[in-house]
Structure 1
Amino acid sequence: MARVQIITIIIDLLFVMYISSLIIKGKLREEYAIVWIICTALLTIFSFWRDGLEVMARLVGVYAAPNLVFTVLIFLIMIYLLHLSVANSRLHKHITTLAQELALLKEKLASEQEKEKKEQ
């Protein structure tokens, strides 16, 4: 096994441990951690299987293996950005609703406090 393979495998394992610690501390949600763990697992597989990228490129019909890597990564990044955009839009809608409800509650509280002052 080549030195670069050993270094890559060690770094992959350390990265998985770091992701696990972020999940345990509550700094990373599980749904986002799955993406990182899958990517790390793929890196680990290709660390063990040196010719794997060439084999995959030939199966897909890509001329050069690095082109396959860049194409797949760009596609995955676009999908992930779309997912984050949808999540962000959903959160924006919830924040707007909460702000409106808070404003109504403040108005109601102010009117009740004013009623109490008038009664006294």
Structure 2
Amino acid sequence: MLYDVDINRIQYISIIGSILILIMIIELIRKKKLMEEYTIIWLLFGMIFLVFSIWRDGLEVVSRLVGIGYPPATIFLILIMGIFAILIHYSLIISKITERNKILVQEIGLLKQEIEQLKEKKE
């Protein structure tokens, strides 16, 4: 059962939310709390969300293409897809960092062993 919903209000809330998120991301970059290389995906999905919040006809086209009868619900689909993309992106980053840490630990172990061998030769 659909209630009498003010679509304009949903659109305004979506636009304001998108703009606030984009401002927050830009502010985090400016304060050097978020590295630029990791913010591209955030900015991309923030812009996509903003575009579909403003461009209602585009949202309706996408809704029809995916079979969603209530276009504002498509915004949630876009959000969910964005969240999954961000999670995958950060999973890749974590995997890369884990591999780097493993290599660093191995190198440190080799260096410690080399230092111990040098100490033994000295004695």
Q: For this structure pair, what is the TM-score category when the shorter chain's length is used for normalisation?
A: 0.5 to 0.7
Q: 2:75 aligns with which of 50, 61, 69?
A: 69
5+ residue gaps, structure 1, are: none
TM-score w.r.t. length of structure 2: 0.67
In structure 2, the partner of 1:108 is 114
Secondary structure of 2:34's partner? coil
Q: 2:92 aligns with which of 54, 66, 86?
A: 86
Secondary structure of 2:40's partner? helix
Displacement after TM superposition at 1:111 (Å) = 1.9
Q: Distance in 2 between matches of 1:77 and 1:30?
A: 18
**Identity percentage of aligned residues:** 41
5+ residue gaps, structure 2, are: 1-7
Q: Distance in 2 between matches of 1:73 and 1:15?
A: 12
Secondary structure of 2:25's partner? helix
Output the amino acid matched with 1:91: I
Q: Distance in 2 between matches of 1:31 and 1:83?
A: 11
Whose relative contact order is higher, 1 or 2, with alpha carbons under 8 Å and at least 6 apart? 2
Deviations 1:34-84 (A, max 9, x none): 222223323433443355533431344322224423333333333332222
8 Å CA contact retained: 2:15, 2:50: yes
TM-score w.r.t. length of structure 1: 0.68
- Structure number with greater Rg is 1
Output the amino acid matched with 1:16: L
Q: Structure 1 residues 11 and 59 mapped into 2: Cα distance closer, same or farther (>3 Å)?
A: closer
Count of paired positions: 116
